[in-house]
Amino acid sequence: MPKIKTSRTRQPPEGWEDIEPIMDDFAQRMREAENDPQEGKRKVESVWPIFRLHHQRSRYIYDLYYKRKAISTELYDYCLKHNYADKNLIAKWKKPGYEKLCCLRCIQSKDTNFGTTCICRVPKAKLEADRIVECVHCGCRGHNHAGRLIDPPVFAMVYVPDAARDLIAGTVGGWAQVVVGHPFDTIKVRLQTQPSPPKYHSGMHCLTTLIKEEGSTAVYKGVTSPLAGIGICNAVVFTANGYFRRMLQGNDTSKPLTLPQIMLAGNMAGTVMAFFNCPIELLKVKLQVQGKAPAAGSATAATQPKPYKGVFDCGVRTFKAGGLRGLYRGITITLIRDVPSFACYFGAYELVKRSCLQARSLPPPSDTMLSFKPVEPPTVEMPTENTGMELCLAGGMAGIAAWLLCYPQDIVKSRMQSDPSYRTTAECFRVLLKEASGGNWRIFFRGFAPTLARAFPANAATFMAYEWSLKQMS
């Protein structure tokens, strides 16, 4: 007898193979919940796990389609048609005030606590902190109340869009970078911008002289600008990088990007970053290179320009003097520096992360490895998540790799932004080449030691804070 053709025998829409394992897992867990022995439980309590799984499965399909835009309309309709998601519950979620509804019975007055309001619908402010009330149908304890749920993945879940997650995590990472790395950065800029013959012989000499002449807080000069600015810049570059990575990945989110694709995303993120970075770094450099204000009435007080009071004063005076073009002084060399360096930055980070995972997946050494007899190699499960130490190592190495690639460009940028006598980037570069003639190529690597000393801890802190923030929002 021929097989009867039904709608279920048709090929599912494209993209089904990506979510099918998750749907199978939900089905397996649902069978286990239905067959679970219910000794010692109330009758209503025995169906709570089923309601929770039903809610989770519907929420998963809802988020894929409405929030993440990860599945097609055809696949979404297919899931609703074959009851992989509750279309009536989803219809309620789309209405204002019902976004976190647990189940439909919670809003049916005839079914809910003898005509009263279900705990699911009680505002957070009216919940009693020391009293636990459960919905008789699904076991919800009030999804807006902290500590109300024993099993939080369903009702305590708050969706954060990918771009917002990158933005928040990038900001936190930027703040961590500034706190750890700004003293190193001040020394680097002082060494880069000193005239010939140089005042400072080394990074340590610069540090001791700076503290002796200007006080211990001098290493944090100009910190206000990067604290606000680098937080924004990091947020921009991580958000842009995340956006371009998702664009390159397309709908197939299960397949990891190749290293060239990751570097291409970093390239494009670096282009975006340069336009945010340039004015912020300009103000930072101006504040870092200004020395201690001369005493009033002294011989130098009349000749030296009035020192900046802070980042706002510096920004206003720079804008008045040169307008928007003045704030974007050095944009060309900033682009030449940032575009390749961020490709290297994100590429190196991903490479070290993957190498660490691969190294941990290797089988441990044993006596049989020294034997000449053929033995079956032991199987070791491939880890899927990096440890904190591995993230710090990857972040630090990424910072070093990026600076190795772009340090000479940074020298030109710092000179260009600190000295108003240069009219163009090309002129600044020609002057530096003239100074470097005769074998003095070290001029292009002034301050390189403190930069590398800063690169590892600052970028380790950046990526550690970034990954930690992402994890908190997952």
Query: Is the pLDDT reported for residue 334 higher than 80?
Result: yes
- Out of 40-44, 47-51, 56-60, 214-218, which region has the weakest mean confidence (pLDDT)? 40-44
Q: What's the CATH architecture for 162-292+307-363+380-473?
A: Alpha/alpha barrel (1.50)
Tell me the average pLDDT of the chain: 77
Counting Cα atoms < 13 Å in the Cβ hemisphere of 176 gives 24
Give start-end residues of each CATH 1.50.40.10 domain in the chain: 162-292+307-363+380-473
Over the stretch 135-186, which tens digit does the pLDDT of each residue have?
Answer: 656 666 655 433 333 333 333 334 456 788 888 888 899 888 888 888 887 8
- Cα distances from 330 to residues 327, 345, 412, in angstroms, run 9, 21, 9
Query: What is the pLDDT at residue 130?
Result: 55
Q: Average pLDDT, stretch 269-287?
A: 88
Q: Is 377's pLDDT higher than 80?
A: no
Higher-confidence position of 467 and 99: 467
pLDDT at 157: 38
Predicted confidence (pLDDT) at residue 291 exceeds the cutoff of 80: no
pLDDT tens digit string along 225-249?
677 777 888 889 999 999 999 888 8
**295-326: per-residue pLDDT in tens?**
454 444 455 667 788 778 888 888 888 888 88
Reported confidence tier of residue 265, pLDDT bands at 50, 70, 90: very high
Average pLDDT (36-55) is 71
